[in-house]
Structure 1
């Protein structure tokens, strides 16, 4: 059995299988089995979902954060993805949307979010927008994982 070790700073939150946890001091957590989690630094607020790919990111993150309503979020994802496929012409974004669809279909929303973060700078370039500080953080921040393992 493989483990996944995550280090958290004091006051940092993590979303685990739909539950929100905050640690009061610097700590490390080891997950010994499959778990759906999202670090606070990767959470996008609804008010920050101002572009099509950020809106799709918000929908996919809801699959992780609210597992009880994942079926509804997956329906929203499918409708949104179809609209995006008709809106973008950039081959890299279109290929990314196919990858993301595959990941969501295989119940790998964490991987889909990671792939979406890689596409957001392309979307910004296409739209000619300059991201604010938080939007840059979700695009580029990678989780602080001490060891790879179960997910």
Structure 2
């Protein structure tokens, strides 16, 4: 038997559930009695925070989860972006992570794709820091960062 999922939210916190945005005015606990797709507010990346290639990918995947009405456009962007990133990164952990992100995404497990993507941020940050210190553009990442 599958256990129900319970989530506690603080006053003013938002949660994105099956494309709907819910905001609570007081401390509340929600119990999901069936399968649901959700994203807590603190996992939502804002557009201004998408300064690296993996964060841009995360934002695209997040859009599929939060805004299913525009999911087709985001899916097309995902496929172009993931192919470009897999060709750009040399780091083995990131390349494997991107493969996992693609597999989860294609199987409709968007939340799992987000978790894997988020787990790669620290590696990407290290690569970018090394690149910045050494002033060499090929320390594991070959794509431009705005």
Name the TM-score, length of structure 1 as normaliser: 0.83
Partner of 2:143: none
Query: How many equivalent pairs are there?
Result: 129
- Structure 1: stretches of 5+ with no match in the other structure: 130-151
Look up the SS of the partner of 1:116 in the other structure. Answer: helix
Q: Highest CA radius of gyration, 1 or 2?
A: 2
The CA deviation at 1:72 is 1.5
- Structure 2: stretches of 5+ with no match in the other structure: 131-146
Partner of 1:17: 18
Look up the SS of the partner of 1:128 in the other structure. Answer: helix
Partner of 1:107: 108
Name the TM-score, length of structure 2 as normaliser: 0.85
Separation (CA, whole Å) in 2 of partners of 1:67 and 1:56:
16
The CA deviation at 1:69 is 1.5
Separation (CA, whole Å) in 1 of partners of 2:98 and 2:118:
12
The CA deviation at 1:71 is 1.9
Look up the SS of the partner of 1:10 in the other structure. Answer: coil
Superposed CA RMSD: 1.1
Give runs of aligned pairs for residues 118-129 of structure 1, distance below 5 A.
118-128=119-129
Look up the SS of the partner of 2:30 in the other structure. Answer: strand
* Greater relative contact order (Cα < 8 A, sep 6+): 1
Return structure 1 stretches of 4+ with deviation > 2 angstroms.
none
